[in-house]
């Protein structure tokens, strides 16, 4: 009989995604992603700039320097310098053998641009708090 304190797989991987999100380099929000295949973490990603480049927390992002009045929620990310968590997790995976048929755990719903990347990478399922989507 499983222990009532032992988390199920979804809870376990969503908790890891939340921990990964804490590394996010954005003044507006931190997002985490965990790519899983066969109950094993294959890759993680958080939103931030390219390695070695100044990020939002260092004041380098034009979007991050604006107020929420100047950039309301849902505005386009045209002036954002960060790579999204989902994209980073897919970039750091070990090729198609890691992404094809995998599950991607996220701290929030992916944007339309990331959804395209997720489909192109062959991810089978996407999970974020309160939701599980079978990728087309």
| pLDDT tens sequence across 73-101 | 777 777 788 999 999 999 999 999 999 99
Question: What tokens appear for 130 in the block?
Answer: 């309160």
Annotated catalytic residue within 70, 86, 100, 109 = 86
Q: Please check the confidence at residue 105 and state whether its pLDDT lies above 70.
A: yes
Q: What is the pLDDT of residues 12-42, one digit of tens each?
A: 999 999 999 999 998 888 999 999 999 999 9
Q: What is the pLDDT of residues 61-70, one digit of tens each?
A: 888 788 777 8
Stated pTM of the model: 0.89
- Annotated active-site residue 86? The verdict is yes
């Amino acid at each position: 009989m499983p222990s009532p304190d032992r988390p199920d797989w979804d809870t376990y991987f969503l908790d890891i995604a939340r921990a990964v999100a804490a590394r996010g380099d954005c003044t507006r929000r931190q997002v985490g992603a965990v790519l899983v295949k066969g109950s094993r973490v294959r890759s993680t990603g958080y939103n931030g700039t390219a390695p070695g480049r100044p990020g939002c927390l260092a004041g380098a992002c034009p979007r991050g320097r604006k107020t929420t009045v100047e950039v309301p929620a849902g505005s386009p990310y045209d002036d954002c310098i960060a790579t999204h968590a989902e994209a980073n997790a897919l970039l750091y995976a070990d090729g198609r053998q890691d992404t094809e048929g995998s599950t991607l755990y996220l701290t929030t719903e992916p944007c339309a641009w990331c959804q395209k990347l997720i489909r192109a990478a062959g991810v089978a399922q996407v999970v974020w708090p309160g939701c599980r989507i079978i990728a087309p």
